[in-house]
Amino acid sequence: MIRAKNIHKFYGTLEVLKGVDIHIKPAEVISIVGESGAGKSTLLQILGTLDRPSDIEKYQTEITLDGQSFLGMKDKDLSKFRNRNIGFVFQNHQLLPEFTALENVLLPTKIAGIAEKEVIDKAHSLFEDLNIAHRLHHKPSELSGGESQRVAVARALINSPKIIYADEPTGNLDSKNADALHQLFFDLRDKYKQTFVIVTHNMVLAESTDRKLMMKDGQIINNK
Ligand SMILES: Nc1ncnc2c1ncn2[C@@H]1O[C@H](COP(=O)(O)OP(=O)(O)O)[C@@H](O)[C@H]1O
Ligand SMILES: [Mg+2]
């Protein structure tokens, strides 16, 4: 699903990614662990097309998603590519406060130019899957932390992305809500063959994923 080679990232003279290779298979749930500052979020942003690696010609950097190379795309094409192919879940749900849960989840479909009638059934079934069907018309301020994160997961899933990147998705949840969200990731993988890359400090989650990658000082130190 993802093949990446020689990812480097500099902020000024600070090298925060020092040649990362990563290979992720379809329907794999991968965790990335490592100390704060190791470069986990930077890597996720680059794999997710939200940021670009440094000096790609010098390092002969390559990244493909489902066989498609995207590093050469212009920003506008890249936005479209991201909207169609990639979902994100962040530590803070980042839902828009003035919209209801359902409207937040439908937003990526509107950006993709998909008519509401084509996706409304899917939206409803995601709300069912994620146990938030009773919260469709609530605004984010009326949702609990766990509910907000599940709405954010529904939003990440609505366009049937090839991959979902989650950056400490349960970092702000209590352990009960965190466990429930973790279980949902595995259920969604089983039901939709969804591929997930999850950055986490939760060792129970990390140990239960298909593969745990450990980052240290800008490198993955346990890559096979
Ligand atoms: N926009 C930025 N400008 C300068 N330095 C940054 C920027 N983003 C991240 N860094 C630095 O890059 C390193 C890796 O950060 P990050 O990828 O957020 O690590 P992690 O997610 O593993 O905690 C850190 O030293 C951080 O301070
Ligand atoms: Mg981080």
Atom 17 of ligand 1: nearest residue by CA position: 39
Q: Which residues in the chain come in under a pLDDT of 50?
A: none
Is ligand 1 within 6 A of the CB of residue 16? yes
Question: Residue 213: its pLDDT value, please?
Answer: 97
Question: Residue 93: its pLDDT value, please?
Answer: 86
Top CATH class of 26-49+74-220 equals alpha beta
Looking at the CA of residue 9, tell me the nearest atom of ligand 1.
Answer: 12
Q: Can you give the three-state secondary structure of the chain, one letter per residue?
A: CEEEEEEEEEECCEEEEEEEEEEECCCCEEEEECCCCCCHHHHHHHHCCCCCCCCHHHHCCEEEECCEECCCCCHHHHHHHHHHHEEEECCCCCCCCCCCHHHHHHHHHHHCCCCHHHHHHHHHHHHHHCCCHHHCCCCHHHCCHHHHHHHHHHHHHCCCCCEEEEECCCCCCCHHHHHHHHHHHHHHHHHHCCEEEEECCCHHHHHHCCEEEEEECCEECCCC
Question: Residue 170: its pLDDT value, please?
Answer: 94
Question: Residue 224: its pLDDT value, please?
Answer: 64
Give the model confidence (pLDDT) of 69-97 as tens digits: 999 999 999 999 999 999 999 999 899 99
**Distance between Cα 93 and ligand 1 center (Å):** 20
- Nearest ligand to the CA atom of 91: 2
Is ligand 1 within 6 A of the CB of residue 37? yes
Residue from 10, 11, 221 whose mutation best tests the ligand 1 pocket (most atoms within 8 A of CB): 11
**Distance between Cα 124 and ligand 2 center (Å):** 32
**Distance between Cα 9 and ligand 2 center (Å):** 15
